[in-house]
Structure 1
Amino acid sequence: MTQRGGAADVLVLGGAGVDTIIQVPQLPLPYADSYMIDSGIRTRAGQTGDFVALGLAALGLRTHHLDLLGDDPEGDLVRSLHREHGIALTALPQPAGTRRAVNLVGPDGRRLSLYDTSRARPGDRFPPQTLRTLAGTSRHVHVTITQPCADALPVLAATGIPLSTDLHDWDGENPYHEPFAHAADVVFLSAAALTDPERTMRRIAERGRAEAVVATAGAEGAYLLADGELSHVPAAVPPAPVVDSNGAGDAFAAAFLYGRLGGEPPETCARYGAVAGAHACTVPASRAESIGRDELLKRATAPRP
């Protein structure tokens, strides 16, 4: 086990890995024997937990990331990413290897992700004492839905530390996501696979402990459920052309948590999230770059067009 860093504002649990980015002429990609990729095929560190950690650190929050990593070139890329950005990392050994995925990115910035599920084992667990120690020195824990985070939820709940999670494109029915949804104080998810976002959001709040539920809806903005009231959060205007939506939800979550830990009301937190998500859409998937605190606050307080 490798470990760096001490007390943190946010402990990010899981979601470390490597993506191979391929710019394709369109999505869905028609069948062909081969395609010429003039933009190149690039492999870089950064999956959902990495991007949340990057976003938090860029906003000035002390961030610690815990996950399983392989002793392989992909794991080295993840370790290097954290060193470069000053993010504390506790990397537990993963004999199956570091998580990896292939992202096909279309001209409009939409993506199709292909995840290699062989990089995990059914018996993988985070040591309970490691969880208690790291959570106990953190103000907040953000739990990704990657394995083995589900088994960590009871340990984390017993600590009493506030939790958040991102259910990504949950359809509202898959039972795997429910323990995450019901254990977290703040729940993020995409509205993409929901036929009735409000119904799903209210069910999360009624069955769990969520104080705020946010459903992001891309160019349509987001929906915020807080204090029993559902409101619409307008989408922020991207500061440059949209090139890739990869990491936009992670950026939204990081900025929302920045506001929440700073004592801001949910509506302001959601506005921060919208600005950060719009910024992320202008960053090519081959780069790991998050909005900084000064830029976030400037754009979030600027008059809306």
Structure 2
Amino acid sequence: MAQQQTDQLHHDVLVVGGSGVDTVVRVDSLPVPLADSVSVGPILEWPGHTGGNVALGCRNLGLNVKFLDYLGDDWTGERVRERLARGGVDFEALISPAGTRRAVNLVEKTGRRMSFHDGRDPADLRMPRDFYLPHLERTRHVHLSITNFARFLYDDIEALGVPVSTDLHDWDGLADYHKDFALRSDLVFLSAAGASERIASVMREILREGRAEAVVATAGAGGSYVMSREGSRTPRPVRATVPPAPVVDSNGAGDAYVCGFLYGRLAGRDLEECARLGAVAGAHACTGKGNEALIGPDELLAA
């Protein structure tokens, strides 16, 4: 790792951006029928969001995690702080003038979901360099959530030679917002649902136009697909793992997949084996509500 000495590193994973609170509404089916009022089960709130979930999942796997973000000075922000502290995550936050990010997730009986995300960060929000740089200098790996301010860390990440990953979620391969993250990350995750039948060409474009070593597309119960710079330009399928218990909630399953994958990557495992570990972690996450079903290292490796 350029300009870094292994014995000076402190963090296994530095996560930047992406905390918030999910409000989970359970419905009979999606799409929801048009009606003035619909009776539902208990409405629950889960602090986490993608960055929080990755930080919690990696920490539960025994990795040394640092998490940096903006957070509102509000009751929802306090919920996020409490959840991260309970999960043992070393979290530092700057106060966001717009408040804590929110999302409302409709979840049907099979665990499939539809999310309404309120990112709310001002477009000109920037994380101060003197806040994040000391942590960049002491980490083995950076995971950037696709919050807008996180894109402005890439120059320093590249200068330090630190490997960086990101999750584009349901990117269609066209929206400009995601392109910095897609083309400047060493490891790119995305959902196959966003680009649908075009997913293979989107994966190839990321490898061709960007710096990624590998691109991973997740497809839920359909498994996942891996494509690497050194391998074939045909996505290599990796089977999904059967959940060890009934599926309760798919919220956070993709984030758990990222955690399992990064755990394998930091241990020096090959891409396919990392994808299998990701599949195990993702399946395990579906068996609990919110981000409560976090897999540990012994369970991960045993499966």
Return the TM-score normalized by structure 2. Answer: 0.93
1:79 corresponding residue in structure 2: 81
2:253 corresponding residue in structure 1: 248
**Aligned counterpart in structure 1 of residue 241 of structure 2, from 236, 240, 244:** 236
1:292 corresponding residue in structure 2: 296
Write the distance in 2 (CA, Å) between the matches of 1:219 and 1:29. Answer: 22
1:302 corresponding residue in structure 2: none
One-letter amino acid of the structure 1 residue matched with residue 176 of structure 2: P
Moved over 6 A (4+): none
One-letter amino acid of the structure 1 residue matched with residue 74 of structure 2: D
Write the distance in 1 (CA, Å) between the matches of 2:226 and 2:106. Answer: 30
2:189 corresponding residue in structure 1: 188
Contact 1:220 1:235 in 2 (8 A): yes
Write the distance in 2 (CA, Å) between the matches of 1:100 and 1:197. Answer: 28
C-alpha displacement at 1:159, in angstroms?
2.2
C-alpha displacement at 1:131, in angstroms?
2.1
Write the distance in 2 (CA, Å) between the matches of 1:67 and 1:111. Answer: 26
Q: What is the alpha-carbon root mean square deviation over aligned residues?
A: 1.3
Contact 1:170 1:189 in 2 (8 A): yes
C-alpha displacement at 1:199, in angstroms?
1.3
Moved more, 242-251 or 148-157: 148-157
Q: Is it true that 1:258 corresponds to 2:260 in the alignment?
A: no
One-letter amino acid of the structure 1 residue matched with residue 118 of structure 2: D
**Aligned counterpart in structure 2 of residue 28 of structure 1, from 28, 31, 34:** 31
Contact 1:132 1:159 in 2 (8 A): no
Q: Is it true that 1:274 corresponds to 2:279 in the alignment?
A: yes
Write the distance in 1 (CA, Å) between the matches of 2:207 and 2:86. Answer: 38
Contact 1:16 1:67 in 2 (8 A): yes
Write the distance in 1 (CA, Å) between the matches of 2:176 and 2:156. Answer: 20
- Say which SS state the counterpart of residue 148 (structure 1) adopts: helix
Deviation readout 1:48-71 (Å, 9 max, x if unpaired): 001111110111000011100011
**Aligned counterpart in structure 2 of residue 90 of structure 1, from 92, 105, 108:** 92
Contact 1:163 1:184 in 2 (8 A): yes
**Aligned counterpart in structure 1 of residue 66 of structure 2, from 53, 57, 64:** 64
Q: Mind listing any 5+ residue stretches in structure 1 that lack a counterpart?
A: 1-5, 300-305
Q: Percent same amino acid at aligned positions? A: 52
Contact 2:284 2:293 in 1 (8 A): no
2:219 corresponding residue in structure 1: 217
One-letter amino acid of the structure 2 residue matched with residue 17 of structure 1: G
C-alpha displacement at 1:228, in angstroms?
2.3
One-letter amino acid of the structure 2 residue matched with residue 15 of structure 1: G
Deviation readout 1:75-99 (Å, 9 max, x if unpaired): 1011111111110001011121000
One-letter amino acid of the structure 2 residue matched with residue 176 of structure 1: Y
Write the distance in 1 (CA, Å) between the matches of 2:250 and 2:45. Answer: 17
Q: Is it true that 1:114 corresponds to 2:119 in the alignment?
A: no
Deviation readout 1:155-213 (Å, 9 max, x if unpaired): 32222211000000010111111110111111000110222222111111111111111
Contact 2:286 2:293 in 1 (8 A): no
Q: Is it true that 1:197 corresponds to 2:202 in the alignment?
A: no
1:48 corresponding residue in structure 2: 50
Contact 2:287 2:293 in 1 (8 A): no
Write the distance in 2 (CA, Å) between the matches of 1:206 and 1:107. Answer: 40
